[in-house]
Amino acid sequence: MAEPARRMETDPEPALVAVAGVVLEAFADGALWWADRRLLVVADLHFEKGSAFARRGRMLPPYDTVETLTRLSRLVTRFDPATIVALGDSFHDDGGAARLRPSDRATLKALQSGRDWIWIAGNHDPAAPAGLDGGHLDSLAIGPLVFRHEPTIGDGGHGEIAGHLHPAARVAGRGKWVRRRCFAGDGRRLILPAFGAYAGGLNVLDKTFAGVFDLAAFRAYMLGEDRVYAVGRKVLRPD
Amino acid sequence: MTARADISDHTTVLHAPFAEWFASRGWAPRPHQLDLLARARAGRSVLLIAPTGAGKTLAGFLPTLVSLHERPRDAPVGGRGPHTLYISPLKALAVDIARNLEQPVAEMGLPVRIETRTGDTPVHKRQRQKLKPPDILLTTPEQTALLVSATDADRFFADVDTVILDELHSLVVSKRGDLLALCLARLRTLAPKLKAIGLSATVADPDALRAWLVGQRGAPPTPSDEVAKPSAGRKAKTPPRRLADLITVAGGAKPEITILDSAERVPWAGHSARYALADIYAAIGAHKMALLFVNTRSQAEMIFQELWRINTDGLPIALHHGSLDPTQRRKVESAMSEGRLRAVVATSTLDLGIDWGDVDLVVHIGAPKGASRLAQRIGRANHRLDEPSKALLVPANRFEVLECRAALDANYLGAQDTPPIRAGGLDVLAQHILGMACAAPFEAGAAHAEVTSAYPYRNLTRETFDRVVDFVATGGYALKTYERYAKIRKGPDGLWRLTHPRFAQQYRLNVGTIIEAPMLNVRVSRSARAGFAGRGGRTLGKVEEYFIEQLSPGETFLFAGQVLRFEGIRENEAIATRTADDTPKIPMYAGGKFPLTTYLATGVRGLLSDPRAWGQLPVQVSDWLRIQKKRSILPRRNQLLVETFPRGNRSYLVCYPFEGRLAHQTLGMLLTRRLERARLKPTGFVATDYSLAVWGLGNLGRAFADGAPSLAELFDEDMLGDDLDAWMADSYLLKRTFRSAALISGLIEKRHPGKEKTGRQVTVSSDLIYDVLRAHEPDHILMQATWADAATGHLDVARLGDMLSRIKGRIVHKRLDRISPLALPVMLEIGREVIAGEAQEDVLREAAEDLVKEAMGDG
């Protein structure tokens, strides 16, 4: 991680998304980058979801945490952020941090060193993760933007960056359909896709999203192989 | 083989009530019925192979009835388990057989209780059956699995004497067959004297079925150091198979089969057979009752609707397929057996041996895809063995004319092309091992011995078995972090036992191997708009989720014989309204469901190469072949013809392996990769059952002529190595296969106590699991199971491999300046066919471009 961040020609192409006048870059791996502040945002990491399921007898492969950390490491290498904000539900349950394997714990610590790390409280992990570095906040305001876990309607003034809903979108064409995780935004609010390896997606047309967005300005930013596709509401399909 | 019954004097064999019953009906017991009785009484397991109408069912039950008749009248009834277990692949068949059995039992005055137990049996009845078991229990493989995994299984099955397995040929080739084989092994342990009676239609390899019925000696309990040795070494040590006795009843009268020779033009491509509707309608009118078989549900819908469009005489014509609501199906079935219908359009739901009354004509629409399937379906007509069945084959396109001709020859020759029995699935084994632990603690060595006594698992090594046990316990990962959450655990006594009773509950909810494509109910709402909000309206049946997902509200489609307007999805229901529109916008055809069997493929190639045989073909078809011969080449039986020609600004390669659509699709994927490496810029391909077309921007004809690459290199078998691995790992097919292995093995659940997951939720999570497992432990046992399934199932790699080795050195290249007659059918498929899961980025790109249009004001 010593190499300073330099964007290469082969780097994936982000979609530029404006929220409350701030231009942010949305990447195909589901991360959001605020270049001016050198701030990297990821949502819903759901670390240790596999072991949470194993406790109930569903023995999912125990590699989700290491996979999520690997993806995160790639981002840190690429951007060398000054600050990383994890937008809540960073652990799948309260005991998750305690179940981290020593090697994963070490990887996480290495990612955190030399930069600010903010754990935003989520509904799965309302308390600060035990024994880990990083600040713990309910929400974080920087300039015109506020970062929190659950989108909060009626918070006038600020632009909002949130997670929690795991947005995904579906489009169809030529007899095929594609369903992908997506960023979902309307210029005032941007909801990030879930970043965790075992975190699924919820269709943005689901009733859970009712009232969250100004529909006239709504866009889904669907995650492609190495670029992000901005898609209008008209072409979206329900599940 | 032991004592043969003396069939000349059957009265010495049959007791009075039986002999009198036969006499009262003016019947004599048939030789095979007495033969089977004698063998069963000698304690032998028997496979009975007989055509429909040979009295197979009675033959199967006769030993049981005689044995129950001989039972001392004063024997205590309470606490005794069932004497005979009858297992059929279909619930409806079990119910039907019970009905057919009760009549003779009543007429003979036998003291025999007969009951069915299926998924539809109410809980209170099931409980009563446990307390007071019937003498004969008729059930399904899934219910059998539940019964042997119950804690009282040892008591319940202690007295079981006979197990009768109906329609064995159709069961053994699926994962349900694997599950049943394991249950049978369990039953043999619980009741060591158990004999099995298998009832089957004619099959290609009767010995495999005979071995399936009895316990095998299995793999020796190999120490793990021997496992790495090549399989050839192990093969030499494999003991000879044990076989059940075999009784074969020769086929009845030769069926009268004709291929429709329509005055209409036979289409070049497509599967609708629309051209022949008037002919089909005339055939229905000329018979008492016709059964119309088609290969897919959507074809059934289409034919049904089109027939009613021309049904000027108002003939009662009905529709029957697996997606229809059960009550609607039952209505059609009873109308059929009462003779109130003139025709029924049906899919494979009517394939199996249910007696549906007086059918005097079977019409097969589309090519039958296999000679055995054709024979089975034709057997539906005329259940009296001594009268010939009458059948009409209706090819939907010109290649299907050849296929029908080949099937007809095969049928006349009595050839069989049923698929071989494959090695048992490890996912099914995982499910079964949990079931064993639910019943009672088990010792791994004994359990391995029992499992390898089941024919599909006879070569399973102890090492693999132990890995599956480990998978059941903790997921079996290289990274051991789940030990403390284990579902089963080995105690100090060496026995594996369940760690918590809730895992038994989970097992019961998820038992079985039938992984349906996720389905949605289709509900017809009365009012167009408000229908979405209201819950009213009738459920017509179920439709695949993937189909509904392609629809937009307002689009029309065909279902249950009606044109419906799609309104939207609500929870697990697709809401639709009726519409006056009679031309559905969205066709539901998804291509042929079954691949052509190897046997028929050989027949079609033979027909193609032999102009002397063309006299049997309709003139328009033989003309087509003659022009092909003049303009290009007709390949010899063992050759592969590859044609290349330019068209538009592209260059085309068309080849004719006749190996079925699945194998051709896989071949298309692999050829595309190779052509890309040769910088010939391939841009697409399309596959049919008969041929494959690949196109690109580079000049393919010149490249092959120059040997850059040569066709021998392009079609070299080594494509099944790295190229296949690389492509498969990314293929959506593998993900779909993984999903079913994950569900069957219990890694993820179909149903969780208290809440049912929808198919979609499972799909998403199993894809994510697959990605993580592939990245971190690609050799995991479930990945191995997935690859094994995919290679024989969705991708038909085995068949492709056989083809590639067959055509080695026999590829004929013909460079043409334009399309050949033989290439026409596949070329017409271009644009119709879509390869799901591929080119996803294109769809996304187009959706994004829609945004531009929308923004520019024309959206």
Using one digit for the tens of pLDDT, what is the confidence trace for B192-208? 999 999 998 878 789 99
d(CA A231, CA B653): 37
Q: Which residue is closest to B506 within chain A, CA to CA? A: A57
Answer whether B348's CB lies under 8 Å from B297's CB: no
Is residue A8 assigned to a domain?
A: no
Look at A224 and B776 and tell me if their CB atoms are within 8 Å.
Answer: no
Query: Which pLDDT belongs to residue B297?
Result: 77
Q: In the structure, what pLDDT confidence band is assigned to residue B186 with cuts at 50, 70 and 90?
A: very high
Across the interface, of A51, A201, A231, the residue whose CB is closest to B848 is A231
Answer whether B510's CB lies under 8 Å from B751's CB: yes
Tell me the percentage of chain B whose pLDDT exceeds 90: 35
Domain with A150, as residue range(s), is 15-235
Look at A239 and B502 and tell me if their CB atoms are within 8 Å.
Answer: no
Q: For chain A, what is the domain count?
A: 1
Is residue A2 assigned to a domain?
A: no
Average model confidence (pLDDT) for chain A?
89
Query: What are the chain A neighbours of B568 within 8 Å (beta carbons)?
Result: 238
Using one digit for the tens of pLDDT, what is the confidence trace for B365-404? 887 777 667 777 776 555 554 566 788 999 988 888 888 8
Length of chain A: 239
Using one digit for the tens of pLDDT, what is the confidence trace for B93-129? 787 788 888 888 999 999 899 999 987 788 899 999 9
Is residue A218 assigned to a domain?
A: yes
Using one digit for the tens of pLDDT, what is the confidence trace for A49-95? 999 999 988 899 999 999 999 999 999 999 999 999 999 999 999 89
For chain A, list residues whose CB is within 8 angstroms of any CB belonging to chain B: 51, 54-55, 57-64, 66-67, 101, 170-178, 180, 197-201, 219, 222, 224-225, 229-232, 234-235, 237-239
Across the interface, of B503, B749, B772, the residue whose CB is closest to A197 is B772
Of residues A187, A32, A221, the one with CA closest to residue B848:
A221
Query: Which pLDDT belongs to residue B541?
Result: 74
Work out the end-to-end distance of chain A between its first and last CA atoms, rounded to an integer number of angstroms: 41
Query: Which pLDDT belongs to residue B838?
Result: 43
Query: What are the chain A neighbours of B498 within 8 Å (beta carbons)?
Result: none
Residue ranges, comma separated, of all CATH 3.40.50.300 domains in chain B are 7-248, 256-413
Average model confidence (pLDDT) for chain B?
81
> How many whole angstroms from its chain centre is CA B363?
21
> How many whole angstroms from its chain centre is CA A234?
25
Using one digit for the tens of pLDDT, what is the confidence trace for A157-206? 789 999 999 999 988 765 556 789 999 999 999 999 999 999 989 999 98
Look at B847 and A62 and tell me if their CB atoms are within 8 Å.
Answer: no
Residue B316, both tokens: 């009662």
Query: Which pLDDT belongs to residue B842?
Result: 64
Q: In the structure, what pLDDT confidence band is assigned to residue A155 with cuts at 50, 70 and 90?
A: low
Cβ neighbours of B315 (radius 10 Å): 15
Is residue A3 assigned to a domain?
A: no
Query: Which pLDDT belongs to residue B549?
Result: 61
- What separation in angstroms does the CA of B81 have from each of B69, B74, B153, B158, B291? 16, 16, 10, 7, 41
Query: What are the chain A neighbours of B684 within 8 Å (beta carbons)?
Result: none
Query: Which pLDDT belongs to residue B29?
Result: 87
Look at B772 and A237 and tell me if their CB atoms are within 8 Å.
Answer: no
- φ, ψ dihedrals at A180, nearest 5°: -140, 155
Comparing B509 with A9, the larger pLDDT belongs to B509
Residues 6 or more apart whose CB falls under 8 angstroms from that of B313 comprise B285
d(CA B385, CA B391): 15
Residue B452 corresponds to which amino acid?
T
Topology (CATH level 3) of domain B256-413: Rossmann fold (3.40.50)
Query: Which pLDDT belongs to residue B348?
Result: 65
- Does residue B537 have a pLDDT over 60? yes
Look at A239 and B760 and tell me if their CB atoms are within 8 Å.
Answer: yes
Answer whether B182's CB lies under 8 Å from B360's CB: no
Residue B382 corresponds to which amino acid?
N
Distance from CA of B759 to the nearest CA of A (A): 11
Mean pLDDT to the nearest integer, B450-462: 96
Q: Is B275 helix (H, G, I), strand (E, B) or coil?
A: helix
Cβ neighbours of B398 (radius 10 Å): 24
Residue B519 corresponds to which amino acid?
M
Q: Which of B782, B840, B845, B854 to mutate to test the interface with A (most CBs of A within 10 A)?
A: B840
Using one digit for the tens of pLDDT, what is the confidence trace for B606-624? 888 899 888 888 888 888 8
Comparing B627 with B559, the larger pLDDT belongs to B627
Residue B436, both tokens: 């064993």
Answer whether A144's CB lies under 8 Å from A208's CB: no
Mean pLDDT to the nearest integer, B691-710: 92
Residue B678, both tokens: 């040769």
Query: Which pLDDT belongs to residue B673?
Result: 82
Across the interface, of B487, B747, B854, the residue whose CB is closest to A232 is B854
Is residue A184 assigned to a domain?
A: yes
- What separation in angstroms does the CA of A32 have from each of A11, A68, A72? 15, 16, 12
- φ, ψ dihedrals at A168, nearest 5°: -145, 160
d(CA A168, CA A179): 7
Using one digit for the tens of pLDDT, what is the confidence trace for B197-252? 999 887 878 999 999 999 998 765 544 433 333 343 344 455 688 999 999 987 66
Query: Which pLDDT belongs to residue B379?
Result: 66
Answer whether B787's CB lies under 8 Å from B714's CB: no
Look at B847 and A180 and tell me if their CB atoms are within 8 Å.
Answer: no
- What separation in angstroms does the CA of A49 have from each of A96, A121, B535, B857? 8, 17, 37, 45
Is residue A4 assigned to a domain?
A: no
Query: Which pLDDT belongs to residue B521?
Result: 77
- Does residue B762 have a pLDDT over 50? no
Q: Is B729 helix (H, G, I), strand (E, B) or coil?
A: helix
Is residue A9 assigned to a domain?
A: no
Answer whether B430's CB lies under 8 Å from B471's CB: yes
Query: Which pLDDT belongs to residue B567?
Result: 81
DSSP element (H, E) containing B101: helix B91-108
Decide which of 3.40.50.1220, 3.60.150.10, 3.30.420.40, 3.40.50.300 is the CATH code for B7-248: 3.40.50.300
Q: Mind spelling out the 3-state secondary structure of B508-575?
A: HHHCCCCCCCCEEEEEECCCCCHHHCCCCCEEEEEEEHHHHHCCCCCCEEEECCEEEEEEEEECCEEE
Using one digit for the tens of pLDDT, what is the confidence trace for B256-312? 888 888 888 888 877 778 899 999 999 999 998 898 988 777 788 888 988 999 999
Answer whether A236's CB lies under 8 Å from B853's CB: no
Answer whether B714's CB lies under 8 Å from B644's CB: no
Using one digit for the tens of pLDDT, what is the confidence trace for B301-348? 888 988 999 999 999 999 887 777 777 877 887 888 788 899 999 876
Task: Compute the CA torsion angle B94, B39, B53, B103 (nearest 10 deg).
Answer: -50
Query: Which pLDDT belongs to residue B137?
Result: 96
Q: In the structure, what pLDDT confidence band is assigned to residue B763 with cuts at 50, 70 and 90?
A: very low
Is residue A134 assigned to a domain?
A: yes
CATH number of the domain encompassing residue A225: 3.60.21
